[in-house]
Amino acid sequence: MIAFSWRQFRTQALIGAAGLVVLGVILLVTGPNLVHVYNSAVAQCRASRGGLGGCVNPVTTDDGKLQTLALALVLIVPVLIGMFWGAPLVARELETGTFRLAWTQSVSRRRWLLVKLGLVGLASAVVGALLSLMVTWWFSPIDKVTANRFSPASFGMHGFVPASYALFAFALGATTGLLFRRTLPAMAVTLAGFIAVRVVVAEWIRPHFMSPVTEAVRLNPNSGWGINQSSGVLSVTANPPDLPNALVVSANLVNKAGRSPSATYLQHACPNLPGPNGPPVVQGAGQGHTAVAPSGQQAFQQCIDTVSAHFHQVVVYQPANRFWAFQAYETLLFVAASAALAGFCVWWVRRRLS
């Protein structure tokens, strides 16, 4: 049974393996160069300034196309597995009528399905894991610089979650194939369904795995401010504090009473800002502030000084050291969902397809 399932799956497996090998070779050839770029930039920064703060490391822009490709692959490969390994798994047999051959051999449907799901499911998880391993390794010098692996976009391309995504996409494909009994619609639904689940989990479920840390932070009047003016209504923002590899849920300006600066308050606190006929947006960033006119610049700094004297920032975030716990939670979530789908498939193939 296992040998025959493998025979049926062999061609698809070889295509997958070939893809992995090609990508692996490309990453192996280009990876050392990234490490070199990173190391020499770090050495240069140390030599010139005696520190890394504010030093721009060119490694983040090196091999830009390959970076995009590698990230895209980690995103796309699980859903490709769902569409090309999962959806046809049962649907093809139902379409071509070979299920009548398979289900009348001396093997129960339950076992037939469990072996197929187990074999190809395992292969899916292995492909996801290898892909993640290769790309995480290749990206490690870049990650050291960007320090944002906890961000919604980056989290799913690191660690072991890609393996669980691949497993889940496969299970979703197999289930839709079983329900629709046609490969093509099952592929389309798998594509849409997988993207929807990933987005929902990343945006709404993942932040709640653990209750976030809340911290009050003093504002630095010299960096990271923005004042916006739209239709004459003022609002002010401040960049959250630098928390490498943390997941910032929210960062709000509040006073001692816990209230945010209102437009009316800003009108009073910052009377000299350019009026509605002036430039719509005044921005400040980094060490200094950019403004349209010297008078505007002065008014801007004055405004920020006033605001930072009365307000502080409340940052809600998941600290960087929770990264692996979150990886474990999300992996468990997707593995459990895959197991539930597989259980449903087994029930359906015994009860409903007869």
Partner 1 sequence: MSWVLDAQGLGKRYGRRWALRDCDLQIPAGHVVGLVGPNGAGKTTLLHLAVGLLAPSAGSIAVLDRAPAADAVQLARVGFVAQDTPTYARLSIADHLHFGAQMNPAWDDALARQRIAALDLDQGQRAGSLSGGQRAQLALTLAVAKRPELLVLDEPVASLDPLARREFLQSLMEFVADGDVSVVLSSHLVADLERVCDYVIVLVDSRLQVAGEVDDLLASHRRLVGPRRDPGSLPSGQEVIEESHTDRQSTMLVRCDGPVLDPAWTVEELSLEDIVLAYMGHADSARRARGRQGLEVLS
Which positions lie near partner 1, rule CB under 8 A?
1, 3-4, 7-8, 11, 96-98, 100-109, 111, 354
Cα 314 from chain centre: 25
Separation of alpha carbons 264 and 291, rounded Å: 22
Closer CB to partner 1, 116 or 322, in the complex: 116
Closer to partner 1 at the Cβ: 93 or 330?
93
Instruction: Tell me whether residue 103 or residue 348 sits nearer to partner 1 (CB atom).
Output: 103
Beta bridge partners of 214: 316
Strand order in the sheet with 247-254: 213-217, 312-318, 247-254
Six token digits for residue 138? 């290749």
User: How far from 259 is each of 102, 129, 266, 316, CA to CA, in Å?
Assistant: 68, 46, 13, 16
Question: What phi and psi values does residue 230 have, to the nearest 5 degrees?
Answer: -125, 130
Do residues 138 and 63 make contact, with C-beta atoms less than 8 angstroms apart?
Answer: no
Q: What is the rounded CA–CA span in Å between residue 10 and residue 2? A: 12
Q: How far is the CB of 174 from partner 1 (least distance, A)?
A: 18
Closer to partner 1 by CB, 98 or 267: give it. 98
Closer to partner 1 by CB, 208 or 350: give it.
Answer: 350
Instruction: DSSP for 245-262, please give it.
Output: T-EEEEEEEE-TTS-PPP
Question: Rounded distance, CA 173 to CA 121, Å?
Answer: 11
Q: Whose Cβ is closer to partner 1: residue 14's or residue 196's?
A: 14
Which C-beta is closer to partner 1: that of 108 or that of 255?
A: 108
CB of 106 to partner 1, least distance (A): 4
We find the least distance from the C-beta atom of residue 243 to partner 1, in angstroms, to be 54
Indicate the residue among 61 and 108 with the shorter CB distance to partner 1: 108
Closest approach, Cβ 110 to partner 1, in A, equals 10
CB of 38 to partner 1, least distance (A): 48
User: Is the Cβ–Cβ distance between 170 and 59 less than 8 Å?
Assistant: no
Shortest CB 241 distance to partner 1, Å: 59
- Bridge partners of 313, per DSSP, are 217, 253
Report the nearest approach of partner 1 to the CB of residue 103 (Å).
6
Residue 349 CB, nearest distance to partner 1 (Å)? 12
Q: Which residues pair with 228 in a beta bridge?
A: 235, 281
Give the residue ranges of DSSP H helices in the chain: 2-49, 64-81, 87-96, 99-102, 109-146, 152-155, 161-180, 183-200, 263-269, 294-310, 323-351
101 vs 285, beta carbon nearer partner 1: 101
Q: How far is the CB of 124 from partner 1 (least distance, A)?
A: 21
Nearest to 23 by CA among 179, 126, 112, 138: 138
